[in-house]
Amino acid sequence: MTVTQQQVLDSLAKIKSPRGVALANANVLSAINATDGKVFFSINVDAAEARAWESVRAEAEAAVRAIPGVTTVMVALTAERKAGAAPPPPPPPPPSPPTPSRGAPGVQPVHAHKPPQGGQSPMARQSEIPGVAAVIAVASGKGGVGKSTTALNLALGLRDLGLKVGLLDADIYGPSVPRLTGLHDKPALNDERKMIPLRRFGLAIMSIGFLVEEETAMIWRGPMVMSAVTQMLRDVAWGTLDVLVVDMPPGTGDAQLTLAQNVPLKGAVIVSTPQDLSLIDARRGLAMFKKVNVPVLGIVENMSYFQCPHCGTKSDIFGHGGARHEAEKLGVPFLGEIPLHMAIRATSDAGTPVVDSEPDGPHAAIYRAVAGQVRDQLKGVIAAA
Ligand code: ADP
């Protein structure tokens, strides 16, 4: 059954803003995405009024859920701080109570999406995720450098080292974990109405791509990114994990910076190709994590050199070694070089990542070595948990 934007608007007709104006006329609604019975939109309000709007958000979600044919509703309350305005109130203490919903639980408010002013520890504002010892980000300055492929194979490398590992695909602009893992199911809800992560390769896996169509995800705006990622972190029954690897959206814009600030990260891995341009982007990534006091665990050079699948000859088509040099210059660990190889591309795109499908091959060994360095840096945190 098709659900139209007009039906969604009609369902909201009786809902009033905290000041008594009809919600539809309060100039706060984002564009409404209604595809295949899945409805998503945000209510954008001033940070100072965010708390007063939470009940409106819940009402809106309930009203949309009642439309015949609606299977999933996600209404995000997003708050923007106007330049010069007072700082937003602190976020409510997580874990947040899940909002009943047929598909995915409701999204909790994000109180600001402006980039943080440096110097504050993200830990000061973000409580940890119960049961998860360390959350780490895999980031890149731009798309297409192999960030997602690296994130998944790193997660598998950590698994091979005997750790309990989860993977959260937070790349809301282009979630690729469904493709990389071959998973396309929608997560079920447990008795506490938390989403149960999908399992494959011994990993607990969650992706925004399990919840929304790729095209829908791509038009989401920055504040909605944060809401959705918060939901996937806090409203998912992750269980007990040593490491949760977060595949970040590429780039270093406001949305990424806010994520880096609001996700309780123990560290970040930056993926770069050796080309100058992506190194410049990688440097921006480093600066971004520095700004929010997240330790950079190191740089991985992906597509480091071309290895001929037939004769094994190596060619430095992108000027191999740039990331290692850059890491030395910036004083961050260099985690390893991953070749540009057909086997990595083919296994990634077939949903059979190389560390799992060719565990005795040379590529798996490289990813495991990267994972070993990451594990060593997190040892204290994991042991403490
Ligand atoms: P990103 O997450 O940075 O956008 P992806 O991980 O989706 O990048 O990779 C982009 C493409 O490059 C995919 O087709 C993937 O299979 C391929 N790829 C990534 N790393 C390698 C590699 N080391 N060798 C060959 N192909 C790779």
**pLDDT of amino acid 127:** 67
Contact 300, 323 (CB under 8 A): yes
CATH 3.40.50.1820 fits 132-384, yes or no: no
User: 244 vs 9, 158, 182, 340, CA distance in Å?
Assistant: 38, 10, 20, 26
**β-sheet bridge partners, residue 270:** 139, 299
Contact 267, 295 (CB under 8 A): yes
Which candidate, 28, 12, 109, 118, places its Cα nearest to that of 66? 12
Closest ligand 1 atom number to CA of residue 340: 24
Residues 6+ apart with CB under 8 A from 274: 301, 303, 304, 316, 318, 319, 320, 321, 322, 323
Closest ligand 1 atom number to CA of residue 304: 23
Residue nearest to atom 4 of ligand 1 (CA): 144
What tokens were used for 277? 């341009």
What is the rounded CA–CA span in Å between residue 160 and residue 242? 13
Out of 142, 147, 149, give the residue to mutate to test ligand 1, the one with the largest number of ligand atoms within 8 Å of its CB: 149
Closest ligand 1 atom number to CA of residue 179: 7
What is the rounded CA–CA span in Å between residue 128 and residue 335? 26
Q: Is the CB of 276 under 6 A from ligand 1?
A: no
Q: Is the CB of 348 under 6 A from ligand 1?
A: yes
Burial of 295 (C-beta count, 10 Å sphere; 0-12/13-18/19+):
middle
Residue nearest to atom 15 of ligand 1 (CA): 345
**pLDDT of amino acid 94:** 35
Closest ligand 1 atom number to CA of residue 303: 23
What is the rounded CA–CA span in Å between residue 342 and residue 141? 24
What is the rounded CA–CA span in Å between residue 222 and residue 61? 20
Q: Is the CB of 303 under 6 A from ligand 1?
A: yes
* Centroid of ligand 1 to alpha carbon of 281 (angstroms): 17
Please state the domain extents for the chain: 1-81, 132-384
Per the listing, tokens 């994520």 go with 259
**pLDDT of amino acid 220:** 59
Q: Is the CB of 148 under 6 A from ligand 1?
A: yes
Residue nearest to atom 9 of ligand 1 (CA): 146
**pLDDT of amino acid 52:** 82
**β-sheet bridge partners, residue 189:** 195
- Enumerate residue ranges in the chain where pLDDT < 70: 47, 78-127, 213-223, 276-278, 317-320, 385
DSSP letter at 193 equals S
Q: Is the CB of 266 under 6 A from ligand 1?
A: no
Q: Is the CB of 272 under 6 A from ligand 1?
A: no
Contact 171, 148 (CB under 8 A): yes
Contact 318, 337 (CB under 8 A): no
SS3 336: strand
Closest ligand 1 atom number to CA of residue 348: 16
Q: Is the CB of 143 under 6 A from ligand 1?
A: yes
**pLDDT of amino acid 207:** 93
What tokens were used for 126? 């973000």
* Centroid of ligand 1 to alpha carbon of 338 (angstroms): 11
* Phi, psi angle pair for 78, to nearest 5°: -120, 140
* Centroid of ligand 1 to alpha carbon of 361 (angstroms): 18
**pLDDT of amino acid 130:** 87
DSSP secondary structure letters along 351-367: T--HHHHSTTSHHHHHH
Q: What architecture is the 1-81 domain classified under in CATH?
A: 2-Layer Sandwich (3.30)
Q: Is the CB of 346 under 6 A from ligand 1?
A: no
Q: Is the CB of 146 under 6 A from ligand 1?
A: yes
The pTM (predicted TM-score) of the whole model is 0.71
Per the listing, tokens 């005997």 go with 162
* Centroid of ligand 1 to alpha carbon of 149 (angstroms): 6
* Phi, psi angle pair for 139, to nearest 5°: -130, 160
What tokens were used for 71? 């299977």
